[in-house]
Structure 1
Amino acid sequence: MIRTNFLTIVLLVLFSFVRCSASDIEASEEQVKSTFANPVWDGADPWMTQQNDDYVYCYSANNAIFVSRSKYLTRKGELKRIWQAPASGWNSNCVWAPEIHFIEGHWYVYYAAGFSGPPFIHQRTGVLRSKTDDVFSDYEDMGMLYTGDNPQNLESNVWAIDMTVLEHQGKLFAIWSGWKEQCDTDATPQHLYIQEMENPYTLKGTRVLLSSPEEDWETGGPLNLNEGAQILKNGNQVFVVYSCRESWLKEYRQGMLQLNDPDGNLLDPANWTKKGPVFEGTAQVYGVGHVSFVKSPDGTEDWIIYHSKKTTEPGWNRNVRMQSFTWNLDGTPMFGTPVPEGKEIDRPSGEVEIEAAEKE
């Protein structure tokens, strides 16, 4: 009787071990999910870039600028507030759409801000610079950029938002959305301007009007605008993908400028060709806009990060989404259509392997 009980106990222990081991394996496999679904998080004007194996995500909230660093494209990681707007001054309010770029050993943040609003008529562009090459280092305020037509008269500065930078053949260029002249209403058309930079925090020469909302697919609503320009490169081809139509409406969409001659003059508007729309909403996804671009963790895929409206009602209640895109035979991007909310998408190539390795 004692022997029988002993064998029974041994068998029960072995059976339990096998069951637990199998459960652990199944749980481990379930934890490393191979798909995800949009939206990935709340927010707007998503700016993401890469440095080595890290994805750096930059955004504004409560008049402050935050940075996240993650090994994953689809998840935010370690987070830090790198700048808080001052209590007073030109940039004390309305902090919008920051971008962060690593240039010449420092991180530079380009952001729009004003001292009051609405109406949002005081927006200008400011620059922050990291004190080290660490994205989480302290930042110093490099001041406001002059984005008007008369650099000798700083009081003549003109409304400017959504600045990005283009590095091309050893030169640095700024591209932003601005007004032709300062106005007392924010119901003012917005245009894209380009200007060479002396360094990452100083513009050189005078601004050049690069694009105006003129095509039938970028006009037709209550306010014509070009904004949110972002740089996309494919080999020696250079593209500026930008947002048009109204940001608060479901018609918000993406247009594109293509550089005709990479060896030509970037400050010559005739050297750019406009195409569009290249990415727009559907009956299920509304008002796609303000994009940025990164590679998958293994470098084999191209991804577009963008925001969309949560409803068709006018307003700025938005969330962040992402999906892969491909290229046409002529080297131009083919973004396809926005993936509907909740539909499972394969995670960026290489991301599952990173997570699996971390769990070993």
Structure 2
Amino acid sequence: MMRKKLLIILFFELAFFTGCNESPVFAEPQVKTTFTNPVWDGADPWMTRHGGHYIYCYSVNNTIVVSRSKYMTRWGKLKTIWRAPSSGWNSNCVWAPEIHFFDGHWYVYYAAGVSGPPFIHQRTGVLRSATDDVFSDYEDMGMLYTGDNPDNSGSNIWAIDMTVLEHQGKLYAIWSGWEKQMDTDATSQNLYISEMKNPYTMKGKRVLLSSPEESWETGGPLNLNEGPEILKHGNQIFIVYSCRESWLVDYRLGMLQLMNPDGNVLDPSNWKKKGPVFHGTSKVYGVGHCSFVKSPDGTEDWIVYHSKKSSSPGWDRDVRMQSFTWNVDGTPHFGVPVPTGKEISRPSGEVAIEQAETK
């Protein structure tokens, strides 16, 4: 009996010491392959891809901040690139900046006003980076002219949400503005276009492209066309814009299509309106003000947009993103907003980037 007990003890001791001498086994880091909306708080999301990085630009407390990241779904390094001055036309109400790269410099287009509410002083300004580094210093290039008489700078007119279109060697500014300067911000907004001499100077008079006239872009307390963004597919060009009231659940996206890409971009009859092309649901409210990017491997198209956090009136919003496809006629098919919390596959190529970094 004693010998049997000794054999049992010896067996467990050998098993223990053998186990201690084995190399420990660690689990490989798990890279998450999905994400959920919303991705972060904020509004008026502007994202672009440059040199293998996603550049995200936004405003907060009258400053403009830029993020540079390898990932669409995560912010990277952050830097405040500009603070509004203590006085002057652009000292307050800094809204909806966009950042674009032209000829070795970054240009930031933003709206600002001397005061508000009421927000009757909004104009559009532009900043230029010192170098091709998005985190370099920025020079204030001043206010852009968005009125009807370029020879009279004092005749400038309310303007927000400016974006730019490069087409056939020319540069065009597209923005949301008023027909004439008003003393109330309860004023209908239209989309205008103007050719540019360079990224910080207008060339000629503005041209009216779109007014809120269709049944799907009217019907509320204030008719708006705003937040125009350029979407290109092959040789086709689209302006995807926001309409209805930004503070209500009916905020949505409409679209203008350039019918003849070789024709006159400044001819309103060359643009065809369609909509709504993207709108909210009973679970996702007031979708609008988007931007467009390719996935890291270039195989997918994604829309980045904001939505209201609740059905109550107001501007408490967050940022979402989802992939979209193309119809047989070459127009975009955005589908329906993905509900909060539903798992979405990460943009194609993003997982591989993270796996390579964790090895």
Q: Report how far residue 4 of structure 1 moved.
A: 5.8
2:240 match: secondary structure: strand
Aligned to 2:284: 285
2:127 match: secondary structure: strand
Distance 1:73 1:34 in 2: 13
Q: Report how far residue 84 of structure 1 moved.
A: 0.2
Structure 2 alignment gaps of length 5 or more: 1-5
- 2:27 paired residue among 13, 24, 31: 24
1:270 match: secondary structure: helix
Kindly, what percent of the aligned residue pairs are identical? Answer: 75
Structure 1 alignment gaps of length 5 or more: none
Distance 2:155 2:17 in 1: 87
Q: Deviations over 1:147-183 (max 9, x none)?
A: 0001111111000000000000000000000000000
Aligned to 1:201: 200
Distance 1:337 1:344 in 2: 15
Aligned to 2:3: none
Distance 2:21 2:250 in 1: 63
For 1:292, give the aligned amino acid.
Answer: S
Q: How does 1:49-198 map to 2 (within 5 A)?
A: 49-198=48-197
2:27 match: secondary structure: helix
- 2:16 paired residue among 9, 32, 37: 9
Q: Report how far residue 8 of structure 1 moved.
A: 3.3
2:336 match: secondary structure: coil
Output the TM-score relative to the length of structure 1: 0.96
Q: Report how far residue 104 of structure 1 moved.
A: 1.0
Q: Report how far residue 11 of structure 1 moved.
A: 2.4
1:238 match: secondary structure: strand
Distance 1:276 1:137 in 2: 40
For 2:128, give the aligned amino acid.
Answer: R
For 2:263, give the aligned amino acid.
Answer: G
- Over aligned residues, Cα RMSD in angstroms? 1.2
For 2:15, give the aligned amino acid.
Answer: T
Q: Report how far residue 5 of structure 1 moved.
A: 7.2
Output the TM-score relative to the length of structure 2: 0.96
Corresponding pairs, count? 352
Distance 2:328 2:94 in 1: 40
Distance 1:206 1:76 in 2: 38
Distance 1:8 1:233 in 2: 67
Distance 2:21 2:304 in 1: 50
Q: Report how far residue 14 of structure 1 moved.
A: 5.0
Distance 1:308 1:11 in 2: 59
2:357 match: secondary structure: helix
For 1:60, give the aligned amino acid.
Answer: S
Aligned to 2:241: 242
Aligned to 2:273: 274
1:24 match: secondary structure: coil
For 1:73, give the aligned amino acid.
Answer: M
Q: Report how far residue 93 of structure 1 moved.
A: 0.1
Distance 2:254 2:105 in 1: 31
Distance 2:282 2:102 in 1: 40
Q: Deviations over 1:232-267 (max 9, x none)?
A: 000000000000000000000000000000000000
1:116 match: secondary structure: coil
Q: Deviations over 1:311-341 (max 9, x none)?
A: 0000000000000000001100000000000
Q: Deviations over 1:48-102 (max 9, x none)?
A: 0000210000000000000000000000000000000000000000000000000
Runs of 4+ in 1 over 3 A off after TM superposition: 1-6
